[in-house]
Structure 1
Amino acid sequence: MYLFMIIKGSSLCRSMLLAVMSMALLGACSNSLGDVPDEPTNLPRKVNVVVQEVSPTELRDVVVLPGTAEPWLSVDLAAETAGRVEKLSVREGDRVTPGQILAQIEVTALAAGRARAQAAFDLFEEQLRRRERLYKDNIISEEELDQVRSGKVQAREELRQAEIEYGRGLVRAPGAGRVNNMRTEVGEFVDRGQGIIELVDIDKIKVQVQVPEMDVRFLNVEQPAAVIVDAFSEQTFSGIVDFIAYRADPATRTFRTQVVVENPDGTIRPGMIARVMFVRQVIPDAVTIPLSAMIDRGGERLVYVEEDGVARARNVSIGVIERDRIQITRGLEPGDRLIVAGHREVEEGTAVVVQ
């Protein structure tokens, strides 16, 4: 009995000992895995940015003004005599040359009148030759000779007038161009002064623009100008300033300026809307930045530069704008590392990482 109790007590001790050892082991594991000191959470935030070194570049001060394309020549040919239209030698769209006959009006009757005048003149000329021989032979008097001479002069003037009238029946092109509109048909009766053919010359195009008084001082005749037509916005045409008005429009205080553009293939058509770019001045060493790099905060213009891994704000003043770039007249210097991407995510003193 006593031996059994001893054995039983020793077994209980061993169980208790194993339990204590297990708890100690678990406690050690817990200390090695779970009791990790907290990492600091107040490290400064870093922003990824892209920088661009500021360098002087040439900048053009350009003014863009709207205008309208007009033909180099636009003539509404009118009948110089009344009568029936006997012939039309052209159709709409035809090219014409200077002096080309385009229409004939009452030329049959006018040709008959010219022929009569020519015959009368020829008759007087022959009579004068015969009378001169008779006068040399003292057969007729000088008075009779003078009468024939006077008749010849009158016949010459009548012939000249008949030729003028005949010419008025022939409608001729005053210059090269294209027929834009036929206002009459063969067989119609037209009055003197009535328009019959519209002729335009579009081998050259005139673009008329109104230039403000503050900009006209930068323009000169024969100055080149770039022209963009809205219908062909992907193409730029070269033009030359041909005329600048000496007097401003009293209503708009602008000066009419004419720019001439070569148009041999007829691409530009009269009436199209155009935009003319005039260069007012060229700045050879301008400090410029992309427009997108500038931030407007409450009327304050800011840019950010990178200095030793930190963003620094700069207040800037602006000048000329050309397309997507703007001149900085104060606040930046050549060599500054301008932040051009990620600049809207930083503030003064923000740590940055340059990509």
Structure 2
Amino acid sequence: RYGVTGLLVILAVGAFLLRGYLDPIEVEVAVAQRLDPGAPAPVLTAGGYIIPHRKVELAPKITGRVEWVGVEKGDRVERGQVVLRIEQREFLVAVDRAEAALLGARARLKELEAGSRPEEIERARAALEEARSNVANAVLELDRFQRLYAEGAVSRQLLDGAKNRYEVALAQRMAAEQSYELTRIGPRQEQIDLARAQVREAEAALRATQVDLDNTLIKVPVAGTILERLVEPGEIVTTSFIGGRGAKSAVLSLANLMVLDVEVDVSQNEFRKVRLNQPATIVPDAFPDRTYRGYLAELAPEANRQKATLQVKVRILDPDDTIRPEMNAKVTFLEPPRATPGGPPKVLVPKEAIVTRDGQRLVYLANGSKAAGRPVKIGAEVDGKVEVLEGLQGGETVVVRGVEALRDGQRLRIKR
């Protein structure tokens, strides 16, 4: 009975150990860096975030209701492409109204520039002759009433009425003379100038309504990728920010994902190690086996005194579709070697890759889907990286996270 029990225990332990080898362990990896003689040497490694070099938020120039959105998050767009349309009915009505006003202003100007027609002059002359005839009749009537009043045949009231009709006839003749003269001469230059100004005003009003109509179509100013779609059809958009559930002032955001930077906070104590246009290498945390070239493109004009850091931006020279904004990345700043070329190359690995087993330093290589221990001899540590003097040639994929639980032959699942 004890023999059977012992056998079962041995089988259980063996199954447990075998399961440990069969079940893959999730690990993170990095590539052993080889520095040939004369190659740039790392002087500083810092972590940061990948960001677009330029991020554009599209906003409307008018207020209105969204009628159509033609893109989704992640879509690629070209410069000048229409991506959103605002309802156009009220803007079309405004254009029609402005066109009608312009036609009226032009007709008025044309009328003034043409001057008076012969028929209008003749009608004014006839009115003047009629007014002169009325004055002559009023003179005769006034003379008659003055004689009758002198003879005591009529009252003072009737004489005053005759005088009043005479004065009215004189005023009407004067008005008819002025009207005839104005009609004969035509409109004054000031009237024509005013009409021309009104035409220009109507033309400007028409252009303004056409601009508003054009602004119902929102176009992208640069080629890129849609990062965020902020509105849906039926929502109100406006030119100014309104918080809460009010109208929205931004409709889409986009960026060119082929121009990416890594935003890094460099400690003030390490700032002396970096400079503009300094070469660098970038390794995304999600893809530790991939290295991208770059250079320091921007230094912040002021430091952050609370964090005691200075923000810098490193331009990625050869981005691809693998890396995305907001990913974590490690940046290693490089400097030309101080020593003359010659001697053996240097191999550097993250210090997390080194593990000690039975007094021996090891690194675990990710050979396909299995771990393989490799004894190494190490040298100095600089900025989180250890120089491997013996055991690696550079370019090997080494495990940097999860290494403590590894054994030779252990199955691996590499974290991406």
TM-score class normalised by the smaller sequence: 0.5 to 0.7
Cα distance change on mapping 1:108 and 1:262 into 2, 3 Å: farther
Question: 2:95, 2:292 → 1: CA distance?
Answer: 51
> Which one of the candidate residues 234, 243, 249 is aligned to 2:289?
234
State the shift of 1:260 in Å. 1.3
Q: Considering only CA atoms, is the larger Rg found in Structure 1 or Structure 2?
A: 1
Deviation by residue 1:252-293 (Cα, 9 ceiling, x = unmatched):
22111001114664321111000111014522259888899x
| 1:68 and 1:272 in contact (8 A); partners too | yes
Confirm whether residue 146 of structure 1 aligns to residue 201 of structure 2: no
Cα distance change on mapping 1:323 and 1:183 into 2, 3 Å: closer
Question: 2:264, 2:67 → 1: CA distance?
Answer: 43
> Which one of the candidate residues 201, 210, 213 is aligned to 1:166?
213
> Which one of the candidate residues 69, 75, 87 is aligned to 1:88?
69
Paired letter, 1:86? E
Question: 1:82, 1:277 → 2: CA distance?
Answer: 48
Q: Which residue of 2 aligns with 1:73?
A: 54
> Which one of the candidate residues 281, 290, 314 is aligned to 1:259?
314
| 1:72 and 1:203 in contact (8 A); partners too | no
Paired letter, 1:168? N
Number of aligned positions between the proteins: 250
> Which one of the candidate residues 62, 69, 74 is aligned to 2:43?
62
Paired letter, 1:325? E
Cα distance change on mapping 1:111 and 1:267 into 2, 3 Å: farther
| 1:73 and 1:202 in contact (8 A); partners too | no
Q: Secondary structure at the match of 1:124?
A: helix
| 2:283 and 2:292 in contact (8 A); partners too | yes
Question: 1:159, 1:290 → 2: CA distance?
Answer: 71
Deviation by residue 1:30-76 (Cα, 9 ceiling, x = unmatched):
xxxxxxxxxxxxxxxxxxxxxxxxxx955724311001011223233
What percentage of aligned pairs have identical amino acids?
27
Q: Which moved more, 1:234-243 or 1:152-161?
A: 152-161
Pairing of 1:14-29 with structure 2 (within 5 A): none
State the shift of 1:250 in Å. 0.4
Q: Which residue of 2 aligns with 1:203?
A: 258
Question: 1:88, 1:322 → 2: CA distance?
Answer: 49
Q: Secondary structure at the match of 2:314?
A: strand
State the shift of 1:138 in Å. 4.9
Confirm whether residue 244 of structure 1 aligns to residue 294 of structure 2: no
State the shift of 1:196 in Å. 2.2
More strand by share: 1
- TM-score (norm. length: structure 2): 0.52
More helix by share: 2
Question: 2:76, 2:112 → 1: CA distance?
Answer: 53
Question: 1:290, 1:197 → 2: CA distance?
Answer: 46
Question: 1:123, 1:95 → 2: CA distance?
Answer: 47
- TM-score (norm. length: structure 1): 0.60
Question: 2:239, 2:274 → 1: CA distance?
Answer: 44
| 1:65 and 1:275 in contact (8 A); partners too | yes
State the shift of 1:199 in Å. 2.0
Structure scoring higher RCO (CA < 8 A, sep ≥ 6) equals: 2
Q: Which residue of 2 aligns with 1:190?
A: 237
Cα distance change on mapping 1:106 and 1:252 into 2, 3 Å: same
Q: Secondary structure at the match of 1:215?
A: helix
| Structure 2: stretches of 5+ with no match in the other structure | 1-35, 117-183, 241-247, 350-378, 392-416
| 1:181 and 1:198 in contact (8 A); partners too | yes
Supply the RMSD in Å over aligned alpha carbons: 3.5
Paired letter, 2:272? R
| 2:45 and 2:384 in contact (8 A); partners too | no
Q: Which residue of 1 aligns with 2:164?
A: none
Cα distance change on mapping 1:230 and 1:128 into 2, 3 Å: same
Question: 1:220, 1:154 → 2: CA distance?
Answer: 57
| Structure 1: stretches of 5+ with no match in the other structure | 1-55, 293-316, 328-339, 342-355
Question: 2:78, 2:347 → 1: CA distance?
Answer: 53
Question: 1:227, 1:264 → 2: CA distance?
Answer: 10
Question: 1:121, 1:220 → 2: CA distance?
Answer: 62
